[in-house]
A = this chain, B = another copy of it.
Amino acid sequence: MTTSREVRLKTRPEGMPQPGNFEVASVDLPDPGAGEVQVKNLYMSVDPYMRGRMYDRPSYVPPFQIGEALQGGAVGEVVASNGANLKVGDIVQSMLGWRERFNAPAAAVQKIDTHGLPPQAFLGIAGMPGLTAYVGLLKIAALKEGDVVFVSAAAGAVGSVVCQIAKIKGCTVIGSAGGDEKTAFLREIGCDHVIDYKKVPNLTKALMEAAPKGIDVYFENVGGEHLEAALEAAKPFARFAMCGMISQYNATEPPKGPSNIMYVVGKRIRMEGFIVSDHFDMLPQFLQDMSGWLGSGKLKWRETVDEGIDAAPGAFLKLFTGENLGKMLVKLA
């Protein structure tokens, strides 16, 4: 018997989530039962999509329930095992983040062969955000060599991988992010043009200057003004991989839609939404490519790390204020 602390949804946020929407609770954790393991989480992930699960509405994943622990990606270490295939000291990943420790059937966690990477890389560049970038760019946007690619939230966990894969594939990359630290990072990872959307007076104009002949691909993480700028700058037959719209997640009234959506017709734009979990068939190919790129030093990544379970709600909120550079993580042990 031990104890664990976990973060629960106390009330559903309206608009921008507040610390008071969350509560941290202690729970007694018995020894693991037959076939179970006990895992001590090392890192947990906070991701923008989790905001959607805080609404009580049908979506592609069921909503979080009030009074229950939140869920999300985590990497941890097996500290007790009654599961045949897992032993103490194994590094595993699970969807049982937002808690310090947990018991679960051995089949509910996946052992990671870290290939020398730090385990938290599997919550970022070598995990779900990396796969999201890979699927969105190569499959949904059908990237071709020579494409001009515009990436919003380009310094984030997904966007920064999108930029770098596009460079590896011989494309011209325009990255948008806010603030000096992020734009410096974008230059460091090889973006050909960097837009600080918080500084430019007119995002569309800045994009048209960076891509005077237009863009072939837009990787959408933000929505709003970024989507309008991308529609304006799109070349005929441009492809838009619609991954997320973080500017819209906390809207309390219907947000302003893109006034120039009509370009989809005349420019024959293909705009396609996707969710990474529909594309797990690409995981083996992704892991093969990614380990090659990481091994040869072609890909860089950044993390913003807060410490301790009490910091988890605040780390989540930073996603919406843009305070994180690269992958936002909470170190739990």
Contact = CB atoms under 8 A, between A and B. Distances in A.
Interface of A: 52, 59-60, 220, 223, 227-228, 236, 242-245, 248, 254-275, 278
Given A245-B261, A255-B262, 5 more contacts: A228-B257, A261-B261, A264-B272, A266-B275, A271-B271
Residue of A245, A257, A272 with most partner-chain B CB within 10 A? A257
A264 B242 contact: yes
Copies per assembly: 2
B275 A272 contact: no
B260 A258 contact: no
A220 B262 CA distance: 11
Nearest to A258: B257
A298 to B, nearest CB: 29
A52 B242 contact: no
Contacts of A255: 259, 262
A60 B264 CA distance: 12
B52 A266 contact: yes
A295 B243 CA distance: 47
A83 to B, nearest CB: 34
A289 B278 CA distance: 35
Contacts of A248: 262
27 contacts: A60-B236, A60-B268, A223-B261, A223-B262, A228-B257, A245-B262, A245-B265, A255-B259, A255-B262, A256-B256, A256-B257, A256-B259, A257-B258, A257-B260, A258-B258, A264-B271, A264-B273, A265-B273, A265-B275, A266-B273, A266-B275, A268-B272, A268-B275, A269-B271, A269-B272, A271-B271, A272-B272
Residue of A264, A265, A267 with most partner-chain B CB within 10 A? A265
A278 B269 CA distance: 13
